[in-house]
């Protein structure tokens, strides 16, 4: 049973528009939530994180929102750029790092 | 500063063969882990280590062994390869464990078992 779910395998967005990637989780014991970005033939790289006691964290073009009551988090990228095209993994921590299945984001020029 | 280095990058094994995937980090991180990535499954934790001499099982440990004799190295051994172990394997390290600390990943090893 997947504790971290990314229900959209893919997302296409026009350059300059907003990209919204979604993630749901089932384990209320998760302490932190993270987003990792992965290009082909490379390992995942850390993008942004949020503590379970916060509801928003912003870093430049990237903002993560956490809705604990809905057990839902989202990553907003504004404005989207072609270089953002990658697979985005949502992950959560409760002693271990648990990943979702990933969403392939394609930003169209 | 090399970060996390995995070798080999690609490997083809026959069913029943054994091999060791190497992972080394030069950041003096205590925490190291192995994941496998399969289509539609994300990254699943195989084994992890919170320091030299300490290892534990993750979500999918069957068919794999690990040891941690030094802080720098965390090899993953496949005892008797099976087609179900065809996957991309990632090694990761981080300064600490179970908190908000960023994990650094290697470039991955693509393993095919025929």
> Would you call B83 helix, strand, or coil by DSSP?
helix
Strands A103-108 and A10-14: parallel
Partner A contacted by B43 (CB < 8 A): yes
Task: Identify which of A43, A93, A94 has the shortest CB distance to residue B107.
Answer: A43
Q: Is the pLDDT of residue A16 over 70?
A: yes
Task: Identify which of A32, A41, A43 has the shortest CB distance to residue B100.
Answer: A32
Indicate which of A5, A96, A97 best probes the interface with B, i.e. most B CBs within 10 Å of its own CB: A97
CA distance B56 to chain A (A): 11
Rg of chain A (C-alpha set): 13
The DSSP output letter for B103 is P
* CA-based nearest residue to B90, from B30, B16, B32, B50: B32
Q: Is the pLDDT of residue B1 over 80?
A: no
Q: Is the pLDDT of residue A105 over 90?
A: yes
User: Residue written as tokens 């026009």?
Assistant: A14
pLDDT in tens, B52-111: 999 999 999 999 999 999 999 999 999 999 999 999 999 999 987 767 678 999 999 999
What is the rounded CA–CA span in Å between residue B42 and residue B57? 18
For residue A34, the Cα-to-chain-centroid distance in whole angstroms is: 7
pLDDT in tens, A30-47: 999 999 999 998 999 999
For residue A99, the Cα-to-chain-centroid distance in whole angstroms is: 10
What is the rounded CA–CA span in Å between residue B27 and residue B42? 26
pLDDT in tens, A44-75: 999 999 999 999 999 999 999 999 999 999 99
């Amino acid at each position: 049973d997947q504790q971290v779910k990314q229900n959209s395998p893919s997302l296409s967005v026009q350059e300059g528009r907003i990209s919204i990637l979604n993630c749901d989780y089932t384990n209320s014991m998760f302490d932190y939530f993270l987003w990792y970005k992965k290009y082909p033939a490379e390992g995942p790289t850390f993008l942004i994180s949020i503590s379970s006691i916060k509801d928003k964290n912003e870093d430049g073009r990237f903002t993560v929102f956490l809705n604990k009551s809905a057990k839902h988090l989202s990553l907003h990228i504004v404005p989207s750029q072609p270089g953002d095209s990658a697979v985005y993994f949502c992950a959560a921590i409760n002693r271990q790092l648990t990943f979702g299945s990933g969403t392939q984001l394609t930003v169209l020029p | 500063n090399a970060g996390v280095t995995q070798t080999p990058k690609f490997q083809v094994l026959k069913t029943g063969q054994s091999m060791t995937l190497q992972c080394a980090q030069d950041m003096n991180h205590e925490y190291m882990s192995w994941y496998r990535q399969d289509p539609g499954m994300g990254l699943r934790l195989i084994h992890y280590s919170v320091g030299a001499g300490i290892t534990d099982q993750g979500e999918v440990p069957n068919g794999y062994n690990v040891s941690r004799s030094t802080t720098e190295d965390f090899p993953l051994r496949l005892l008797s390869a099976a087609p179900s172990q065809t996957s991309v394997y990632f090694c990761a390290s981080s300064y600490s464990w179970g908190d908000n600390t960023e994990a650094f990943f290697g470039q991955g090893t693509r393993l095919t078992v025929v």
